[in-house]
Amino acid sequence: MRVRLDPGLCQGHGRCYELAPDVFGEDDEGYGTVLGDGVVPPGAEQGAKRAVANCPERAIAFEAEG
Ligand code: SF4
């Protein structure tokens, strides 16, 4: 499971890194970032799903692992 984040859509509400701090971080201005390569670590799947479902801008999504 891997996530991606579209910085052009992100408005910095911060829900992603609050719900899934092992998957998302924040930049200096509070916008969301993907930690590392975006691969969701074991145990963080539920938080990642909640983050994707709760992003008000639909800026984050799951992508198929290649
Ligand atoms: S929840 Fe969505 S809009 Fe908010 S910081 Fe995360 S990616 Fe950006």
Q: How confident is the chain (66 residues) per 10-residue block, as mean pLDDT?
A: 97 97 98 97 97 98 81
pLDDT at 66: 57
Provide the pLDDT for residue 65.
Answer: 65
Per the structure block, which two tokens stand in for 63?
A: 């992508």
pLDDT at 64: 78
Q: Which domain holds residue 58?
A: 2-63
What per-residue confidence (pLDDT) applies to 37? 95
The number of domains in the chain is 1
Q: What pLDDT is attached to residue 18?
A: 98
Please give the Cα distance from 58 to 66 (Å, whole number). 22
Answer whether 13 contacts ligand 1 (Cβ < 6 A): yes
Tokens of 34: 């993907």
Q: What is the CATH number of the domain that holds 53?
A: 3.30.70.20
Give the position, in ligand 1's atom list, of the atom nearest the Cα of 15: 1
Q: What is the pLDDT of residue 32?
A: 98
The dihedral over CA atoms of 41, 19, 1, 52, expressed in degrees to the nearest 10, equals -170
